């Protein structure tokens, strides 16, 4: 979002409003199937196009620490090729993917921060863990009728913390610090869980990557007193 906003010479807040749905996590398309970032037949923010656009026609699948590139079904009107003789590494280098993957890795460090704090503040004696994460997934994936969530808003609107003149590389560091502080200051387990899920899926992980391991929560379940 930072790079997209810089390419469009707008703030991240404006980029979210203009180009995305689901609170900044998915590119917006109109009823005709055209990306909101198109200017005529060209991308209006090509220099700052998102990772998904740079990778196409490849996709990136993650399973824990493992990742692999896969070939996607070509979109209508697209050749869906990345070069007759090019290797995947050649293609990634030509598309300048490395800085984007590096940023993904940086933001992924927040997932365990979320998990640890949720384990600390969630009252699993009153809230069943599976229900907490079921609601979190629903909230994170909702495109409308969702609850206000300042953490989710902050995930994508980096300029509120970094200033619009900041270089993306420098801005990411400031953004990460601000997000970590917000996480540590929040006592709302539901809001934390929804933000953690949305962060995980936005980085290409399964929603389950955000969930507190059951071994942690089970130790905090209320136990029955011994019988007399």
pLDDT in tens, 42-83: 899 999 999 988 998 888 888 777 888 888 887 777 777 766
Q: Which of 115, 111, 109 is nearest to 189 (CA)?
A: 115
Whether residue 200 sits in one domain with residue 134: yes
Q: Which of 215, 224, 225, 222 is nearest to 125 (CA)?
A: 222
Structural domain count of the chain: 2
* pLDDT score recorded for residue 78: 74
Does 127 reside within a domain?
Answer: yes
Whether residue 127 sits in one domain with residue 164: yes
* pLDDT score recorded for residue 218: 52
Which among 55, 75, 97 is the end of a domain? 97
Whether residue 88 sits in one domain with residue 160: no
* pLDDT score recorded for residue 165: 65
Cβ of 198: how many Cβ atoms within 10 Å?
Answer: 27
Question: Can you read off the two tokens belonging to residue 107?
Answer: 């933001």
Whether residue 142 sits in one domain with residue 117: yes
Whether residue 205 sits in one domain with residue 119: yes
Cβ of 180: how many Cβ atoms within 10 Å?
Answer: 15
* pLDDT score recorded for residue 75: 76
Does 31 reside within a domain?
Answer: yes
Does 36 reside within a domain?
Answer: yes
Whether residue 60 sits in one domain with residue 112: no
Whether residue 117 sits in one domain with residue 67: no
Cα(110)–Cα(13) distance, integer angstroms: 21
Does 168 reside within a domain?
Answer: yes
Whether residue 150 sits in one domain with residue 127: yes
Does 200 reside within a domain?
Answer: yes
Range of the domain at 64: 2-97
Q: For the chain, what is the radius of gyration of the CA atoms?
A: 20
What is the pTM (predicted TM-score) of this model? 0.86
Residue 29's beta-bridge partner residues?
Answer: 35
Does 223 reside within a domain?
Answer: no
125-174: per-residue pLDDT in tens?
Answer: 888 999 999 999 999 999 888 899 999 999 999 998 887 766 778 889 99
Which among 97, 123, 158 is the end of a domain? 97
Which among 41, 62, 97 is the end of a domain? 97
Whether residue 110 sits in one domain with residue 85: no
Whether residue 198 sits in one domain with residue 122: yes
Best-predicted range by mean pLDDT among 93-97, 210-214, 222-226?
A: 93-97
């Amino acid at each position: 979002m930072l790079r997209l906003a810089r390419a469009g010479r707008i703030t991240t807040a404006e980029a979210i409003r203009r180009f995305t749905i689901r609170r900044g996590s998915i590119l917006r398309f109109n009823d005709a199937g055209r990306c909101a970032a198109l200017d005529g037949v060209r991308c209006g923010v090509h220099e700052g196009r998102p990772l998904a656009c740079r990778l196409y026609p490849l996709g990136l699948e993650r399973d824990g620490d493992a990742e692999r590139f896969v070939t996607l079904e070509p979109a209508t009107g697209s050749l869906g090729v990345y070069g007759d003789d090019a290797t995947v590494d050649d293609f990634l280098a030509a598309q300048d993917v490395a800085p984007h993957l590096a940023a993904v890795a940086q933001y992924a460090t927040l997932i365990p921060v979320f998990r640890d704090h949720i384990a600390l503040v969630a009252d699993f004696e009153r809230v069943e863990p599976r229900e907490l994460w079921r609601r979190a997934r629903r909230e994170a994936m909702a495109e409308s009728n969702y609850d206000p969530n300042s953490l989710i808003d902050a995930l994508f609107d980096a300029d509120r913390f970094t200033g619009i003149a900041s270089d993306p590389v420098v801005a990411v560091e400031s953004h990460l610090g601000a997000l970590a502080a917000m996480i540590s200051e929040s006592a709302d387990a539901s809001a934390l869980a929804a933000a953690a899920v949305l962060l995980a899926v936005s980085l290409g992980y399964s929603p389950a990557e955000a969930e507190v391991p059951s071994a942690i929560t089970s130790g905090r379940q209320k136990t029955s007193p011994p019988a007399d």
